[in-house]
Structure 1
């Protein structure tokens, strides 16, 4: 199984460009929304958070119809003191 994501980029005139990558981001509502394949046919979607940021982003996924979903970015205040007890481990997805 390949870690590469197959992308199709389309212009407003319908011209398509096919490419591949291991990870890509969309800048949406001022936030970098990252997409990455993580194995077992799963797609990880995350938001970059800068060190010392006053807010963090939640991604909200809501079903709209059988084959449609809505993805929203919701900003919340960061609780600086809450992360003091966090221990970085192999499963926390922090660098």
Structure 2
């Protein structure tokens, strides 16, 4: 069950806009990085398109007590045609 996320968007001049949504995406390095809340977890995933020749790894590293870095690393797809990456939007029963 998804929960609404309360967002604060800030411009470079410091102007803030508050809004809410169930999930949002950031376009980063040409990929949609999706964020959504499910229960007490925050899920982060990268959309995979049919025919992609690379898939994304998200690397999370601690930086400080209350700070982490997220790195997007691309790797070539070396899978059989029948292989499928299951995710929240794949529309398959798992």
TM-score range, shorter chain: 0.7 to 0.9
2:70 is aligned with 1:71: yes
TM-score by length of 2: 0.85
- Uncovered stretches (5+) of structure 1, i.e. residues with no partner: none
Matches within 5 A, 1:1-95: 3-39=3-39, 41-81=40-80, 84=82, 93=88, 94-95=90-91
Structure 2: segments with no counterpart, 5+ residues = none
The number of aligned residues is: 90
Structure 2 SS opposite 1:84: coil
Cα distance in 1, alignment partners of residues 73 and 20 from structure 2: 29
Give the deviation of 1:73 after TM superposition: 0.2
Write 1 or 2 for the structure with the bigger share of helix: 1
Q: Give me the TM-score of the superposition, normalised by structure 1.
A: 0.84
Give structure 1 regions of 4+ aligned residues with deviation exceeding 3 angstroms: none
CA deviation profile, 1:32-64 (whole Å, cap 9, x unmatched): 00001111x111000001011100000000001
CA RMSD of aligned residues (A): 2.2
